[in-house]
Amino acid sequence: MVSMSITTDNDKISRRLEPFAPLPSKRLRALKTLVKNDIPLSVRTDPIIPFLNDTPERLVRKLASIKVSHITCSTYKVKHDNWERVTQAFPALTRTLQPLYFENGERAGRSLYLPQKMRVEIVRKVKELVESEDMRFSSCREGLQQLNSATCDGSWMIHQPRKA
């Protein structure tokens, strides 16, 4: 079993969001190669950032066409260091996100979460997309385990040894 993260299928957004990571187009090609070799796949499509990559329909359909078995998602959680990186990469976006997290969001430890209603809406939307494409779904670190149809880590795909 292989698990890979693909935050967006948009290479331009990815280049700004994850400047040192392989482009999504290259990751998608790698997934196709793995499928050809009968390796079960799990993909993390997170973090989902409102107004940036919160419309994952095209990505989910691409992953389904590749025969990915499982998708995990969660929303972006603001921490001091990652907020600085997002602010530098997307200054206009952070002006929109700032009140969602800093004024209306929820604190959990050292992280700021989106308001729960918004998180549930985003995660439920991804779940419905994923399951409509006959894949299993999970969301981690959101407190929404009731939406999961599989474990977050994809371990359900690891084949158990046959008993003699």
Q: Side chain identity at 125, as an amino acid letter?
A: K
Q: In whole numbers, what is the pLDDT of the chain averaged over residues?
A: 91
Q: Distance (Å, rounded) from C-alpha 135 to C-alpha 70?
A: 5
Tell me the HSE value of 68 on the side-chain side, using a 13 A CA sphere: 30
Pick the more confident residue, 112 or 164: 112
Contact call for residues 126 and 137 (beta carbons, < 8 A):
yes
Q: In what order do the strands lie in the sheet with 41-44?
A: 2-5, 41-44, 70-73, 136-139
State the pLDDT confidence band at 164, using cuts at 50, 70 and 90: very low
First to last CA, the chain: 23
Residue ranges and CATH numbers for the domains of the chain are 2-75+118-157 (3.20.20.70)
Q: Which of 44-48, 64-68, 137-141, 155-159 has the lowest mean pLDDT?
A: 155-159
pLDDT in tens, 112-142: 999 999 999 999 999 999 999 999 999 988 8
Per the document, the length of the chain is 164
